Chain A
């Protein structure tokens, strides 16, 4: 895990430096009366030391063995990214548009475009899932899903 460890080690090192500085600004207080930043200042320093160890270890491992590792399966990376984006869009628009339209759109997207299923099947399943999940969570479990565009339904 040479290269991967170096990348992740550097990431956590930067994170820990950031946390340490922020905690310092929050106020360390004293040992008698530790302030709000005290605990995280020291946790940040510990994390920094550990991430440096991981980085150093990765250098040493690199010298001993120049290994190559298969990392991200190239084939499906676009698929994963597309699914991630669709989920974020779902979260961002669920309150504006409401549960019913976004859920329908999400399923049409996932089944029709990502999984490339037949359109008749996609539409049928998406409609069914949307309706059934609405019945279960909104009507039966009273989850108070966002109404959005369909606000007028609330009376």
Chain B
């Protein structure tokens, strides 16, 4: 534990380098902006900026991308509260009470508590990350292919368990994601799979264009269906600083949200979206006045906003210690690290301490910047939102087009993005959740490799997954998550039949 302090100091030395500070600042600023704009997520923003990061040092690149990611979590809440449109999937629940608060003339405190809550949670997560990452990296060194396989299976089942709608449909989407990850060259045998001599498929289906299509483009299509009435509050937002009573009401929600968010963030597949929903449910249960939820309860803003920021911090753990990306953004970061010749995983801490500690410490600084940036800039974000939708959606589409093109300077990625935009739109219509698909795609290659390596290692004995204690533990968790909904659903069906 003691050796953490010099490491953190070293991290500050790296993060406070003026160049890195500037990259951190741009990261959080752009992150907040894409968080504010509905339909344009952090993956799209990082894709847009990816080419610029090839020329800078890996530390600066990762610091900026990380800033975009947690900055987006901050920005997403602003639109939820002021216009009832979540800028980010992780801010969907914030609409429920945040917008109601705004209607009651309490937009100021709602924005204020979500900014402070985010700041507190972000800081808690970074502190937890600082202390747990070296410890977890040590454990991870003992992980073999079976443990990696089982851990990733847990990640996918956690997400399908917690995702909205039908569990079987979520599992189906996870299977589709796994299959999609197989497109391209098989790393073990060198054979091409599912490519059919189509040039764009030889390198596999890119995660970034798929994520932009499923979450960005499809959102625009969905919005085009209906004429959106966006009643932006014309009244001036004032009293950003929450009162003492507001603080007393929400401080425990923030603390609970931070802890919950961090742990859900660690699990690949947990993530910010899930954390915000779980926090809302818990706050409603914990509250003495659950009837106020949905009518403008400040806890319903503070808890989820804290949770999604803490989860954004926690999501770095599987990437930095195991080399497993927990979501599409982490997958891009993983790719970016590898472009710079760094292999994320348990050894990263020793091989590239500047990247490891510099990135972590930059998040402390970034969180501070966000707090300072956001409170005075809320007026500016409101102006951004006043851009009418007939102008906003072509711009979002254009950013996605440029972003997907600039990943590899080819139109193949653009076409993939558009196809997945249509697929994502249809999936929304047919009630299939896109999140398990993208997670399975992100994990797919690693999962398959770990699976096949385990079998080779055990000489074809399938029992290797059950005979190693850590792996068995993971699989038992996954099994439980699969069984629980079957039992509860049967209950639901039986009550229906009783009617």
A residues within 8 Å of B by Cβ?
A: 1, 4-5, 7-8, 12, 15-16, 19, 22, 26-27, 30-40, 43-44, 46-47, 50-51, 53-54, 71-73, 75-77, 79-80, 83-84, 87-88, 90-92, 94-95, 103, 106-107, 110-111, 115, 117, 125, 129, 133, 137, 141-146
A84–B169 CB distance below 8 A: no
With A8-B432, A146-B405 known as contacts, the answer to whether A73 contacts B225 (CB < 8 A) is yes
Nearest CB of chain B from residue A99's CB, rounded to whole Å: 8
Interface centre among B390, B398, B414 (most CB of A within 10 A): B398
Q: How far is the CA of A40 from the CA of B181 in the complex (A)?
A: 10
Given contacts A50-B171, A73-B225, A143-B405, 20 further A-B contacts (CB under 8 A): A4-B430, A5-B430, A8-B430, A31-B461, A36-B193, A39-B451, A44-B175, A46-B175, A50-B168, A71-B429, A77-B225, A80-B221, A87-B418, A91-B411, A95-B411, A106-B397, A115-B390, A117-B390, A125-B391, A145-B405
B397 touches A87 (CB 8 A): yes
Contact status A94-B429, CB under 8 Å: no
Binding site for A on B (CB under 8 A): 48-49, 51-52, 166, 168-169, 171-172, 175-176, 178-179, 182, 186, 188-189, 191, 193-194, 217, 220-221, 224-226, 390-391, 393-395, 397-398, 401-402, 405-406, 409, 411, 414-415, 418, 421-422, 425, 429-432, 448, 451-452, 455-456, 459-462
Known: A36-B188, A103-B398, A129-B395. A94 touches B179 (CB 8 A): no
Which single residue of chain B is at the shortest CB-CB distance from A76? B225
**Are the CB atoms of B406 and A54 closer together than 8 Å?**
no
B90, chain A: closest CB distance, angstroms: 26
Q: Are B452 and A32 interface neighbours, CB within 8 A?
A: no
Whether A144 contacts B406 by the Cβ 8 Å rule is yes
Q: Are A91 and B398 in contact (CB under 8 A)?
A: no
Chain A: which residue is nearest B406 at the CB level?
Answer: A143
Could you tell me if B390 and A142 are in contact, using CB atoms closer than 8 angstroms?
no
Contact check, A40 vs B189: say whether CB atoms are below 8 A apart: no
**What are 17 of the A-B contact pairs (CB < 8 Å)?**
A7-B430, A34-B456, A39-B182, A39-B448, A72-B429, A76-B226, A79-B224, A84-B422, A90-B401, A92-B411, A106-B394, A106-B398, A110-B393, A110-B394, A129-B398, A133-B402, A137-B402
A36 in contact with B189 (CB, 8 Å):
yes
Contact B172 A40 (CB under 8 A): no
- Pairwise interchain contact B224-A141, C-beta atoms closer than 8 A: no
Whether B405 pairs with A84 at a CB distance below 8 angstroms is: no
Q: Which residue of A lies closest to B419 (CB)?
A: A88
Instruction: Select the residue from A39, A75, A90, A111 with max chain B CB neighbours within 10 A.
Output: A39
Which residue of the partner chain, among A16, A53, A145, contacts B402 with CB atoms under 8 Å?
A145
